[in-house]
Structure 1
Amino acid sequence: MNSLSDISEDADLRRVFGRFPTGVTALCGMDEGKPIGMTASAFVAISLQPALVSVCIKQGSATWRQLRARGRIGISFLGDGHAAAARQLAQRSENRFSGLDYEVTADGALFLANATAWLECSVETEIAAGDHEIVLFRLHKAAVADGVMPLVFHSSDFHTLVPIG
């Protein structure tokens, strides 16, 4: 092990956190007929009974302010073909959904096509945690796609998993 050193700058800590690979999710919904969404890589399954998951979202996110007011939010687990979509959804742009295929439920949850799984959720609670909010979601419906490998974020870039053996 290399010797431990103090973390003096945000960039140092970002580099350390980036060494832990995470899946990539898209949180999306409809707002007055217009799709809104964002990416998040800090997703955690919390509980089976009741069915709860959490996502960490940076405080002050304008997109989250719009999404949190929706009755239902779609969480798509992004797949191996979604690297460009993940970058596009992470941008501060009015055209985040340009060229993206998606479906919308009657309750307004939006799901990206070709994901590995989809969760229809509602916000249960939000907990302030430093410069982020931990958002706890209650699951209402879910679906999975077999045969789609997940998109993974590691060391500030997107990767695809490859099965061993």
Structure 2
Amino acid sequence: MPPSTTTIEPLIFREALGHYASGITVITSHFENEPVGFTCQSFYSVSMNPPLVSFSVMCSSASYPRIRQAGRFAVNILSDEQAGISNQFARKGTQKWQGIDWQTSPLGNPVISGCLHWLDCEIHAEYAAGDHMIVIGEVKALNLQEAVATQPLLYFKGQYCNLEVHEGA
């Protein structure tokens, strides 16, 4: 079968993908005595045995090269009360950690206080994919936090939204 010659307009492609609701995470690590991190909505489970997860990051990311050098990362799954944290870590620059309360995970990664839970991972593999890198991590530790909120932070159609839970569903 010959390759498709159809060109997909990037803005239309982005709008179409925006109709898929996703949870929001902050990927964090610690490198050269400094915490590093970025907001990520392209996160998913890969395997139960061994326990593997994956996220995608733009090749132009300033944060990911430091995470790669550290060889490890934490996935902080944000609660619906942490939209401000999501916005803060989505910015470029060095002020991402200003005012952020965090602790250190067993692997030495920053764990953001109040997140629903976190996964502590070592980098298992990387794959180039267009303008992104697909990163697979092996989960070495995890913790369900005692968060005040019990709902995840979701993103849908370009904005944060709430998960409405119906009893009996």
Q: TM-score, with normalisation over the residues of structure 1?
A: 0.90
User: CA separation in 2, counterparts of 1:89 and 1:34?
Assistant: 15
* 2:158 aligned residue (151, 156, 159): 156
Matches within 5 A, 1:28-43: 28-43=28-43
Query: 5+ unaligned residues in a row in structure 1: which ranges?
Result: 1-5
Does the CA-based 8 Å contact 1:7-1:13 persist in structure 2?
no
Q: Counterpart of 1:115 in 2: which secondary structure?
A: coil
1:21 corresponds to which residue? 21
Query: 5+ unaligned residues in a row in structure 2: which ranges?
Result: 1-5
Change (3 A) 1:51 1:8: closer
User: CA separation in 2, counterparts of 1:162 and 1:145?
Assistant: 21
Does the CA-based 8 Å contact 1:71-1:108 persist in structure 2?
no
How far has the Cα of 1:7 moved from its partner? 6.2
Q: Counterpart of 2:140 in 1: which secondary structure?
A: strand
Which deviates more from structure 2 when the two are superposed, residues 66-75 or residues 110-119?
A: 66-75
Does the CA-based 8 Å contact 2:28-2:37 persist in structure 1?
yes
Does the CA-based 8 Å contact 2:106-2:141 persist in structure 1?
no
Deviations 1:71-112 (A, max 9, x none): 431111111111010010010021101111111135321111
User: CA separation in 1, counterparts of 2:125 and 2:59?
Assistant: 15
Question: C-alpha root-mean-square deviation of aligned residues, in Å?
Answer: 1.5
After the TM superposition, list the runs of 4 or more consecutive aligned residues in structure 1 that deviate by more than 4 angstroms: none
Q: TM-score, with normalisation over the residues of structure 2?
A: 0.88
